[in-house]
Amino acid sequence: MPSTTQENVHFMKREEVEHRAREVLRSHGLETIPIDPVALANREGIKVNNAKFSDDNLVGMIVKRGDDVTMLVNHRDRPYRKRFTIAHELGHHFLHLLGDGEYMDGEANLFRTHPTDQEEITPEKRREIQANIFAAALLMPEDHVRRLWKELGSVEEMARLFNVSVAAMGIRIGQLGLA
């Protein structure tokens, strides 16, 4: 774990993560949906590869060694899942991996969007939540979601336009207080 970033991370709230995702999209001129997270990764110099993991629970990982950043996604996952996994790993890239380090993500990490009441919030869990907030904000930019929700009001249709799962779209619409 990159200990140098630990303190920042503690105080980074949802709004700041959303803001960071917006900045990334803007700085790369990504203004239309669907967002292509692989293209974004490539433009950051990150190689994205499919991988057969020995641990079946793994969905993705990112490894940073100096300028060399590699991302692996589970080859068996469906396209929606891969897109979300890559966006999640991009969250670690932009928010957490300031120095060398790696994140290995099992399925459970990609479903954390907020802590449950009983759960103790460790720095690790907090980072996973932040990576998921970042991923949702990246693939489903707030402005686009608000505009299209007003126009269409259909989770299914919006999921198709953003190229995300209906479940992910539904969560995003809820997060933004639209439904």
Interface positions with Zn ion (CB under 5 A) = 103, 105, 109, 128, 131
Report the alpha-carbon distance of residue 135 to residue 62 in Å, rounded. 14
Instruction: Give whichever of 132 and 175 is closer to Zn ion, judged by the CB atom.
Output: 132
Tell me what percent of the chain is helix, strand and coil, each rounded to the nearest 5: 55, 15, 30
Length of the chain: 179
Q: 17 or 155: whose CB is closer to Zn ion?
A: 17
Residue closer to Zn ion by CB (options 71, 131) is 131
Question: Got the DSSP string for 45-110?
Answer: TEEEEEE--SSTTEEEEEEEETTEEEEEEETTS-HHHHHHHHHHHHHIIIII-SSSEEEEEEGGGG
CB-count burial class (<10 Å; 0-12, 13-18, 19+) for 90: buried
| Least distance from Zn ion to the Cβ atom of residue 106, Å | 9
Shortest distance, position 160 Cβ to Zn ion, whole Å: 26
Cβ proximity to Zn ion, 94 vs 103, nearer residue? 103
Min dist CB 109 to Zn ion, Å, is 4
- Closest residue to Zn ion, judged by C-beta, is 105
Rounded to a whole number of angstroms, the minimum distance from the CB of residue 75 to Zn ion is 18
Q: Please identify, using beta-carbon distances, which residue of 25 and 131 lies nearer to Zn ion.
A: 131
CB of 18 to Zn ion, least distance (A): 17
